[in-house]
A and B are shown apart, each in its own frame.
Chain A
Amino acid sequence: MNELRTAGDAILEIKDLVVSYTTLSGKITAVRGVNLSVERGTTQGIVGESGCGKSTLAFAIMGYLDRNGQIESGEILLDGENISDKPRKWMKKIWGKELNIVYQDPSAALNPSIKIGRQIGEVLETHGDSSEKEARDETVEMLRELQISDPEIVADSYPHQLSGGMRQRVCLAMALISRPKLMIMDEPTTNLDVTVEAKILDIIKDLKTEFNTTIIYITHDLGVVYEVSDRSGVMYAGQFVEEGPTEDLIGSPIHPYTRGLLRTVPEVSTETRKGKLQPISGSVVELDSLPQGCKFNPRCPYRQEGCTESEPEFQVLDGDRHVRCFEAEEIIKEDYERKPGGGERMSEEKGGGKKILGAENAKKYFGEAKTRLLSREKVDDRVRAVDDVSFNLDEGNTLGVVGESGCGKSTLARTIIGLEEITDGQITLEDKDISVPIEGRDQEVLRQIRIVFQDPRATLNPKRTIKQAMVRPIKLAGASHNEAVNKAEELLQAVDLGPSYLDRHPDQLSGGQKQRVAIARAFASQPELILCDEPTSSLDVSIQSSIINLLLDLQDDLNTTFMYISHNLAVVSYISDYMAVMYLGRLVEVGPTEDILNPPYHPYTEALLSSISVPNPEVEQKRIRLSGVVPSARNVPSGCRFHTRCPRKIGEICETEEPPTRIAGDDAKHSITCHIPVEELSEVEPVLKK
């Protein structure tokens, strides 16, 4: 072990920690010698892809590993006391009092049948000598501190009555109420909308100053870690490969893996897309078959001969940074280029001008309007998932659709492909009316539109081989069986999978590989249009980038048109030529990607852009936070639907009148639906500035 940064006041010190799991196929070491020192009142970020050991580390600190997990060696010192070898009975005294954890899914973490107030209050009753009354008062106070506007009501609610963001605040309150020495947060905002995430992150940042809490923040999202943490560590194969002040780590990363991670994620930028994303080659190593020498060497662009022989030490560089790499001294001399690559993409104007997809006043309502039996009163509480949406999409272009969850993005896609029957309006494909559900469409239309869903695990039939899954849509295009098999092989080649994959079953493939198959299958019928509904959301970032590159390459070759739906603004802005911002069933702003990312903005677009976390110290970001959550589509607000949350509401007109759709700027393709005149919208500062 190299000498560690010996900070004055470390609340947590981890020394040479090794954690392993006993499995049927033998022992697997998930954490392989971790050293870490966290100073009181700071936030330590831990970043890594799935399987890197970050959650194992978190639960090892908590002293709550799975039954088959054990700490092999090393020490965990909490405030100077070694807690790594303490029995559960002892740990019980500090759990909930000095050492707390908040994890990813707040809806699962809260007991569904006990009231919120009780769940928080019992922490105080257990660890202090608070009476039920005192605990209740303190609970309400704590909820108020976390910016919950009706803390009394929330305390009397059950978890299912609250929104996701509210539940996570409740979890934070539950963890904070005993003023713990150390709080571990394991991906606490991962499942939340960006607008909600931004607010939770604000709260977490405030915790430091208000409660002087020490936080270990675990996430896969570099932007988030950059936002909240003072120092960060990047984990790979159960070890830290780089650790240091967050500003330095994100601004000038040294380890090839850190650099790779930063380059592999698309970044929202007001400029047009330059070059391709740079995926990290290969895939995350399996813990049961680690390579010789440096664990990152098979994927490393800087690999030297020595790298495959012995493992590098965690060495100190620059005084305050730790890097596990033989080449660190060399790499640090190089200038770090954030997003390399030429300007080969987007340089030329796209589009032959042929219109592929059109929507005209398309509506999809769920449920039926009813007339009350007795009062003869008309009740229309239909869910207006898609409400009056119109747009055109030209051949070879990509339209990105963004918006918070519940805004109707997925329903729009499902209506276009015919899985949902359109309620009103028209959808056209190459000027042919296809406003009928999928059963009513002819084979040709089925061939022309395909869809790629979010979860590749759920879309491939586990009983069918990849060949069977691929051949059917190819035959739909009129091929014979032999031709279809050949074509399937070709397609797999195109998504970088060899012909040997043809006879495999889906469970023999990794998540990324399955999504490649799903994409190959979508292309199999040579469709004109592919709808992508969050195709990379469940994948690791390094796999995400290769999938995005793949989609773009295929589009280049085949001139396919995409509609790309995602909550991830960075990905959408990277991949799309045009963007549509959706709110409560309506498109509030549509236009070329560049225009969307620069003023004039619709106030909603502006707020979305300012909610995302950008892992780039060179970018300055304006701070706008939306209050509340997306209202129910069963009961949409009058006038402008956004008025209940709009930070730029101008007056009564917003509540009473539907806003007009105006052309914004010189480009007739850019339109904004808002009462505020375009000139005024143009005057705002850009959200993202370099």
Chain B
Amino acid sequence: MTKFIGKRLINMVITLFIASIIIFTLTEVMPGDVAQMILGQYATPESLEAVRAQLGLDKPAVVRYGDWIWGVLQGDLGTSMSMKGVSISDLLLRRGRNSLFLAAFATIFLVPLSLVVGVIAGLREGSWLDHFISTSSLVALSLPSFISGTFLMLIFAIWLKIVPAMSSIAPGANLFKVFPKLILPIITVSLVLLGYVARMVRASVIDASHSDYARTAVLKGLPYHKVVWHILRNALMPTVTVIAMNLGWLIGGLVIVETLFAYPGLGRLVYVAIQRQDIPLIQASVLLTSAVYLLLNLASDIIYTFLDPRVRY
């Protein structure tokens, strides 16, 4: 087991390294010039040169990549270009905390609900309840979050006035105190995943209940709850992977939702960074996102080995 985790961690580092190259290359070929951005349209060529030299942009790409990755390895992510002198590490930490809070609540809300809904639909295959769940999860799944978010905002914030429409909060605010502001973003970001996970759970529950071993359980005369246990013991295993993958996706989803609700999280930071061509910030935040994604994946694989006796390392 330790060997397996060790191997996976090494793999992860290699993957991250490759990701860093791709991220760097992408920001490199992105159109636009940072110096121009900073100095405005009417800057002289000389002053542009000077700013470039100051930012280190005049060095060859390989050297700049080397500098960057060396910094990252030492825990120094550099400073933001657009927000003068702000340390990126600090920025990511602060915004990351906000996003984590949002993601954690979304997960707490999403995982149990989608499991329950999916299991009920699966066990009652073909009933009206199943049809209702299947259809509504398909709707939730197919609506992009900027649409569903707008609708939720319109209904709950503007018409019913139950919750605030905007989620902008002051830096360092106690997130529990401003919780009502987070309700809409949490629901919005969960909705797509809720539909997706519920459908996956439903499908694997149905699959398992048609299996020979489920039939064996029934024909052993076991009470219903034990038969369900036999089914779920196997049906929920693949769900672990699905959930982990989706949590990774959730990070991407935050970009849209945080922007829509003006919530100061990591997603919105990426959005702003791209808008302002803040290359070091883009690089750092995208790299962080990939790392989180890989960690989630590893976590799901480890959990899987505990659930499935056929997988042992």
Q: Footprint of B on A, CB under 8 Å?
A: 62, 64, 92-97, 100-101, 103, 105, 108-114, 122-123, 126-127, 158, 160, 174
Once the chains are docked, how many angstroms separate the CA of A57 from the CA of B73? 70
Once the chains are docked, how many angstroms separate the CA of A123 from the CA of B220? 6
Contacts A64-B215, A158-B309 hold; do A111 and B233 have CB atoms under 8 A apart?
A: yes
Contacts A105-B212, A126-B226 hold; do A113 and B219 have CB atoms under 8 A apart?
A: no
On whether the beta carbons of A114 and B222 are closer than 8 Å, the reply is no
Among B197-233, those with CB < 8 Å from A are 211-213, 215-223, 226, 230, 233
On whether the beta carbons of A127 and B221 are closer than 8 Å, the reply is yes
Q: How many whole Å from B125's CB to the nearest CB in chain A?
A: 10
Contacts A108-B211, A108-B212 hold; do A113 and B307 have CB atoms under 8 A apart?
A: yes
Once the chains are docked, how many angstroms separate the CA of A101 from the CA of B218? 11
On whether the beta carbons of A111 and B234 are closer than 8 Å, the reply is yes
Q: How many whole Å from B122's CB to the nearest CB in chain A?
A: 16
Once the chains are docked, how many angstroms separate the CA of A108 from the CA of B309? 15
Q: Does B169 belong to the interface (CB within 8 Å)?
A: no
Q: How many whole Å from B281's CB to the nearest CB in chain A?
A: 42
On whether the beta carbons of B226 and A122 are closer than 8 Å, the reply is yes
On whether the beta carbons of A95 and B212 are closer than 8 Å, the reply is no
Select A110's contact among B213, B218, B223, beta carbons within 8 Å.
Answer: B213
Which 4 pairs of residues, A with B, have the shortest CB-CB distance?
A: A96-B221, A95-B221, A96-B220, A108-B212
On whether the beta carbons of B219 and A160 are closer than 8 Å, the reply is no
CB neighbours (8 Å) of A127 from chain B are 221
CB neighbours (8 Å) of A94 from chain B are 221
Q: Does B48 belong to the interface (CB within 8 Å)?
A: no
Among B26-70, those with CB < 8 Å from A are none
How many residues of chain B get a CB closer than 8 Å to chain A's CBs? 21
- In the assembled complex, 27 residue pairs joining A and B whose CB atoms fall closer than 8 Å, in A order, are A62-B219, A64-B215, A64-B219, A95-B218, A95-B219, A95-B221, A108-B211, A109-B212, A109-B213, A109-B216, A110-B213, A111-B213, A111-B216, A112-B308, A112-B310, A113-B233, A113-B234, A113-B308, A113-B310, A114-B230, A114-B233, A122-B220, A123-B221, A126-B221, A126-B222, A126-B223, A174-B216
Q: How many whole Å from A87's CB to the nearest CB in chain B?
A: 14
Q: Does B12 belong to the interface (CB within 8 Å)?
A: no
Q: Does B237 belong to the interface (CB within 8 Å)?
A: yes
Once the chains are docked, how many angstroms separate the CA of A94 from the CA of B221? 7
Residue of A with least CB distance to B307: A113
CB neighbours (8 Å) of A123 from chain B are 220-222
Once the chains are docked, how many angstroms separate the CA of A97 from the CA of B220? 7
CB neighbours (8 Å) of B219 from chain A are 62, 64, 95-96, 100-101
On whether the beta carbons of B226 and A108 are closer than 8 Å, the reply is no
On whether the beta carbons of A110 and B216 are closer than 8 Å, the reply is yes
CB neighbours (8 Å) of A158 from chain B are 309-310
CB neighbours (8 Å) of B222 from chain A are 96, 122-123, 126
CB neighbours (8 Å) of B310 from chain A are 112-113, 158, 160
CB neighbours (8 Å) of A103 from chain B are 212
Most buried by A among B211, B219, B226, B234: B219
Q: How many whole Å from B220's CB to the nearest CB in chain A?
A: 4
Q: How many whole Å from A86's CB to the nearest CB in chain B?
A: 13
Given A111-B234, A126-B220, A158-B309, 6 more pairs with CB closer than 8 A: A94-B221, A109-B212, A112-B309, A113-B237, A113-B309, A174-B220
Most buried by A among B221, B234, B308: B221
Contacts A113-B308, A114-B233, A122-B226 hold; do A93 and B221 have CB atoms under 8 A apart?
A: yes
Once the chains are docked, how many angstroms separate the CA of A559 from the CA of B213? 49
CB neighbours (8 Å) of B218 from chain A are 64, 95
Residue of A with least CB distance to B226: A122
CB neighbours (8 Å) of A126 from chain B are 220-223, 226
Once the chains are docked, how many angstroms separate the CA of A94 from the CA of B212? 19
On whether the beta carbons of B221 and A97 are closer than 8 Å, the reply is yes
CB neighbours (8 Å) of B226 from chain A are 122, 126
Residue of A with least CB distance to B310: A160
Once the chains are docked, how many angstroms separate the CA of A160 from the CA of B219? 22
CB neighbours (8 Å) of B211 from chain A are 108
Once the chains are docked, how many angstroms separate the CA of A294 from the CA of B221? 40
Q: How many whole Å from A429's CB to the nearest CB in chain B?
A: 42
Most buried by B among A64, A100, A109: A109
CB neighbours (8 Å) of B223 from chain A are 92, 126
Once the chains are docked, how many angstroms separate the CA of A482 from the CA of B287? 62
Once the chains are docked, how many angstroms separate the CA of A283 from the CA of B215? 32
Q: How many whole Å from B131's CB to the nearest CB in chain A?
A: 17
Q: How many whole Å from B259's CB to the nearest CB in chain A?
A: 43
CB neighbours (8 Å) of A96 from chain B are 219-222
CB neighbours (8 Å) of A111 from chain B are 213, 216-217, 230, 233-234
Once the chains are docked, how many angstroms separate the CA of A100 from the CA of B219? 7
Contacts A108-B213, A110-B213 hold; do A160 and B234 have CB atoms under 8 A apart?
A: no
Q: How many whole Å from B226's CB to the nearest CB in chain A?
A: 7
Among B266-313, those with CB < 8 Å from A are 307-310
Residue of A with least CB distance to B217: A111
CB neighbours (8 Å) of B309 from chain A are 112-113, 158, 160
Once the chains are docked, how many angstroms separate the CA of A96 from the CA of B226? 14
CB neighbours (8 Å) of A64 from chain B are 215, 218-219
Q: How many whole Å from B289's CB to the nearest CB in chain A?
A: 34
Once the chains are docked, how many angstroms separate the CA of A103 from the CA of B219? 11
Once the chains are docked, how many angstroms separate the CA of A432 from the CA of B41? 79
Once the chains are docked, how many angstroms separate the CA of A122 from the CA of B212? 17
Once the chains are docked, how many angstroms separate the CA of A96 from the CA of B222? 8
CB neighbours (8 Å) of A110 from chain B are 213, 216
Once the chains are docked, how many angstroms separate the CA of A113 from the CA of B238? 13
Q: How many whole Å from B279's CB to the nearest CB in chain A?
A: 42
Q: How many whole Å from A35's CB to the nearest CB in chain B?
A: 25
CB-defined interface of B253-274 with A at 8 Å, one 1/0 digit per residue?
A: 0000000000000000000000
Q: How many whole Å from B48's CB to the nearest CB in chain A?
A: 54
Once the chains are docked, how many angstroms separate the CA of A166 from the CA of B217? 19
Once the chains are docked, how many angstroms separate the CA of A113 from the CA of B309? 6
On whether the beta carbons of A112 and B234 are closer than 8 Å, the reply is yes
CB neighbours (8 Å) of B212 from chain A are 103, 105, 108-109
Q: How many whole Å from A118's CB to the nearest CB in chain B?
A: 10
Q: How many whole Å from B299's CB to the nearest CB in chain A?
A: 20
Q: How many whole Å from B227's CB to the nearest CB in chain A?
A: 10
Residue of A with least CB distance to B126: A67
Most buried by B among A64, A93, A94, A113: A113
Select B220's contact among A95, A105, A113, beta carbons within 8 Å.
Answer: A95
Residue of A with least CB distance to B234: A113
Contacts A122-B226, A126-B226, A158-B310 hold; do A112 and B220 have CB atoms under 8 A apart?
A: no
Once the chains are docked, how many angstroms separate the CA of A679 from the CA of B133? 76
Once the chains are docked, how many angstroms separate the CA of A678 from the CA of B82? 92
Once the chains are docked, how many angstroms separate the CA of A178 from the CA of B226? 18
Q: How many whole Å from A436's CB to the nearest CB in chain B?
A: 36
CB neighbours (8 Å) of B307 from chain A are 113
CB neighbours (8 Å) of B308 from chain A are 112-113
Once the chains are docked, how many angstroms separate the CA of A126 from the CA of B217? 11
CB neighbours (8 Å) of B230 from chain A are 111, 114
Q: How many whole Å from A539's CB to the nearest CB in chain B?
A: 23
Once the chains are docked, how many angstroms separate the CA of A561 from the CA of B142? 60
